[in-house]
Homo-oligomer: A and B are copies of this chain.
Amino acid sequence: MTKRIAYLGPPGTHSEEAALRYAPDSELVPYPSLLHVASAVEERAVDEAIVPVENSIHGSITDITDFLIGTQRASIRHELVHRVRNCLLVESGTELEDVSIIFSHPQPLGQCRTYLQSHLPEAELIASASTASAILDLKSNSSTGAAIGTNRAAKIYGLCIAAEGIDANPENATRFLIIAERDHPRTGIDRTSIAFDFEDNKSGLLVSALQPFAERNISLTKVESRPTGRKLGRYVFLLDFEGHRTDHNVKQALAELRRQASMVKVLGSYPRSPYPLTHASEQNKQDN
Interface residues of A (CB under 8 A from B): 8-10, 32-36, 39, 54-60, 62-63, 66, 105-107, 109-111, 113, 125-130, 133, 169, 171-173, 201-204, 206-207, 210-211, 213-214, 217-227, 229-230, 232, 235, 237, 241, 274-276
Contact = CB atoms under 8 A, between A and B. Distances in A.
A32 B106 contact: yes
Contact of A125 (B32, B172, B225): B32
Contacts of A57: 59-60
A46 B254 CA distance: 49
Contacts of A222: 225-226
A54 B59 contact: no
Q: Which DSSP category, helix, strand, loop or mixed, fits chain A's interface? A: mixed
Nearest to A242: B203
A275 to B, nearest CB: 6
In the A-B complex, the 8 residue pairs with the closest CB atoms: A35-B110, A33-B110, A204-B214, A32-B125, A59-B107, A171-B229, A33-B109, A33-B106
